[in-house]
Amino acid sequence: MFESSNKMVNVVRNLSIEPAGAFMAAREIIVDEINAHIKQHGAENWQQNFNPSLKACCQILAHYFFCRATGKKYNEYEAEEFCSEIKKLRVTEALP
């Protein structure tokens, strides 16, 4: 569940039914994080040492929660701005 200003949103477990834009944005965020990690630490065994940043996690959640929480159609720019709402949540609220 996601709660903000007394609004509860069920967290969907099947992300394939979410807006395609959210999937594409999340994929880009993850790729950027992986590339930054490899650039800093090298490509050898990157998967064993990779931890996404808190910023990236917030961005991904914002893209997937945006439509459900706001009732609006998906908009990449507004979803990025929605990240400020995600940052207000406790980790146990935001991550199922």
DSSP character at residue 72? P
Q: What is the pTM of this model?
A: 0.75
Q: Where are the alpha helices (DSSP H) in the chain?
A: 20-41, 46-49, 54-70, 76-81, 83-86, 91-94
Q: Using CA atoms, how far apart are residues 80 and 8, in angstroms rounded to an integer?
A: 20
Q: What local confidence, expressed as pLDDT, does residue 17 receive? A: 59
Give per-residue pLDDT as tens, 51-78. 888 899 889 989 988 988 898 999 999 9
- CB atoms < 10 A from the CB of 19, how many? 17
Q: What is the mean pLDDT of the chain?
A: 82
Question: Per residue in 30-58, pLDDT tens?
Answer: 999 999 999 999 898 888 888 888 899 88
Q: What pLDDT sits at residue 1? A: 45
